[in-house]
């Protein structure tokens, strides 16, 4: 079977590594992939925002199964296009992927189906949004409605920051059309947890819990990023909390999507806040998280590709999904200055390691160089989080490039 992964980040490299040894896969492709992935798959050039171009690329290679990984292609309907042309896929169709594509839809969906989340207000006029902020207390969470590369969420600690966030999103359009409408939410206090779940629309199977680190700097300071590290399992996510989430969040979400004719087949991501008043949903994503995927998949004992096939065939209930009883720690190495300005084209020195996942890299005559903000991620698994953490930071010393930066406190509780 010929299989392709859509995407070019560390998440996609992690998926590639997890499925590459499946005996049913004859050839593995990445579209477009990256220079680090090209050592393990055939990288095909195609603009993944252009469904027609991707379809032609897949048809010309005779690809049988496509894993659509990033948010934009899913939200914009790539699975719809591929499946309507007879190509089997892993990933939700657009009418289900909207849970990530629109923060407003997600909040209203939760309200319709009594799924616990923070109180919220929706605005399409910056003046009215500012007027509301002048009557409320702080902090408040301000979110762009649409996709914003994981950076469209601002925690405003006061009125000045709130006004600036509204101006950036709605007036200055820093995220384009995504910020034309916004959601303002009550700020929730507690510990964050991320749960990725396999679902075929009938059965939902949560994976190992995780906790990611979104801020750029140590001590959770600095700007929001796509993620600077992650640990699994989440030390605050107990069995009792898992049972609460299954009853109040996971199953009601699946039921609500089905009631609305939005069959979700793929990986459903639950961003949660563990508050003193119970677990609340912060957000849904319609795909594997990054770097959660690089953290969780090294713990997966079952065959990922077989799970993906069972989701496509709607037979997930028959599949055994098992994880190793270990801890995992993942650290992202970025170009210094990310998520703002940073330099590229610095030669990367590294040793080959099984859980080294490349993202923002390109190939030159001298070797791999950094070409993006998040350059690579490294994961170690061990019997305890402390050991996994010690191992990953020890191994990171063998990875060097001129402006390499990573947080030093991932997994430090």
Domain coordinates in residue numbering, the chain: 2-94, 119-186, 191-318, 327-405
> What is d(CA 196, CA 199) in angstroms, rounded to the nearest whole number?
10
Average pLDDT (75-103) is 98
* DSSP one-letter string for 327-339: EEEEEEEEETTTT
Residue 300 phi/psi, 5-degree rounding, is -75, 125
pLDDT (tens digit, 9 = 90+) per residue, 302-334? 999 999 999 999 999 999 999 999 999 999 999
Report pLDDT digits (tens) over 197-212: 999 999 999 999 999 9
Question: What tokens does 358 get?
Answer: 């490349």
Residues 81-90, mean pLDDT to the nearest whole number: 98
Q: Is the pLDDT of residue 150 over 80?
A: no
Residue pLDDT, tens place only, 256-268: 999 999 999 999 9
Topology agreement, domain 2-94 and domain 191-318: no
pLDDT digits (tens, 9 = 90+) for 12-39: 999 999 999 999 999 999 999 999 999 9
Contacts of 3 (CB under 8 A, 6+ apart): 19, 25, 27, 28, 29, 63, 64, 65, 66, 67, 305
Task: Count CB-CB contacts under 10 A for residue 397.
Answer: 7
Q: Check if the beta carbon of residue 226 is closer than 8 Å to that of residue 293.
A: no
Q: How far apart are CA 209 and CA 196, in angstroms?
A: 7
Looking at the domain that runs over 327-405, which CATH code has it been given? 3.90.600.10
For 249, list phi and psi in degrees, rounded to 5: -125, -60
Residue 224 has pLDDT above 90, yes or no: no
Least confidently predicted of 203-212, 223-232, 237-246: 223-232
CATH topology for 119-186?
Dna Ligase; domain 1 (3.30.1490)
Query: Is the pLDDT score of 285 beyond 90?
Result: yes
Pick the CATH number of 2-94 from 3.40.50.20, 2.60.40.420, 3.20.20.70, 3.30.420.10: 3.40.50.20
**pTM summary value:** 0.96
What pLDDT is recorded for position 267?
A: 98
Task: From 110, 72, 115, 113, select the one nearest 91 (Cα to Cα).
Answer: 72
pLDDT of res. 149: 79
Token readout for 119 is 């109180």
CATH H-level, domain 191-318: superfamily: ATP-grasp fold, B domain (3.30.470.20)
């Amino acid at each position: 079977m010929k299989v392709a992964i859509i995407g070019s980040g560390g998440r996609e490299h992690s998926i590639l590594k997890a499925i590459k040894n499946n005996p049913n896969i004859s050839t593995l492709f990445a579209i477009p992939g990256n220079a680090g992935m090209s050592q393990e798959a055939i990288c095909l050039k195609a603009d993944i925002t252009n469904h027609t171009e991707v379809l032609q690329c897949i048809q010309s290679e005779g690809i049988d199964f496509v894993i659509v990984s990033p948010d934009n292609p899913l939200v914009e309907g790539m699975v719809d296009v591929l499946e309507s042309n007879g190509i089997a896929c892993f990933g939700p169709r657009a009418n289900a992927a909207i849970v990530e594509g629109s923060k407003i839809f997600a909040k209203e969906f939760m309200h319709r189906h009594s799924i616990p989340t923070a109180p919220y207000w929706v605005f399409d006029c910056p003046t009215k949004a500012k007027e509301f902020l002048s009557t409320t207390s702080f902090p408040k969470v301000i979110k762009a409605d649409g996709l914003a590369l994981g950076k469209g969420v601002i925690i405003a600690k006061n009125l000045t920051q709130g006004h600036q966030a509204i101006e950036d999103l709605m007036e200055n359009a820093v995220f384009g059309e995504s910020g034309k409408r916004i959601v303002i939410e009550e700020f929730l206090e507690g510990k964050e947890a991320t749960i990725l779940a396999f679902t075929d629309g009938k059965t939902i199977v949560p994976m190992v819990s995780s906790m990611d680190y979104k801020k750029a700097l140590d001590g959770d300071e600095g700007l929001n990023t796509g993620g600077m590290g992650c640990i699994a399992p989440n030390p605050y996510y107990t069995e009792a909390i898992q049972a609460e989430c299954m009853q109040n969040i996971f199953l009601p979400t699946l039921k609500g999507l089905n009631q609305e004719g939005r069959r979700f087949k793929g990986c459903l991501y639950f961003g949660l806040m563990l508050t003193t008043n119970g677990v609340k949903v912060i957000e849904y994503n319609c795909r594997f998280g990054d770097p959660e995927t690089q953290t969780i998949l090294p713990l997966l004992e079952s065959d990922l590709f077989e799970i993906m096939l069972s989701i496509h065939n709607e037979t997930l209930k028959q599949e055994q999904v098992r994880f190793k009883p270990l801890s995992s720690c993942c650290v992202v190495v970025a170009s210094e200055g990310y998520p703002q300005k940073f330099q590229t084209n610095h030669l990367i020195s590294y040793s080959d390691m099984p859980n080294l996942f490349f993202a923002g890299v390109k190939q030159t005559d001298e070797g791999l160089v950094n070409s993006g903000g998040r350059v690579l991620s490294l994961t170690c698994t061990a019997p305890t989080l402390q050991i996994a953490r010690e191992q990953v930071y020890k191994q990171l010393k063998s990875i060097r490039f001129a402006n390499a930066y990573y947080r030093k406190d991932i997994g430090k509780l």
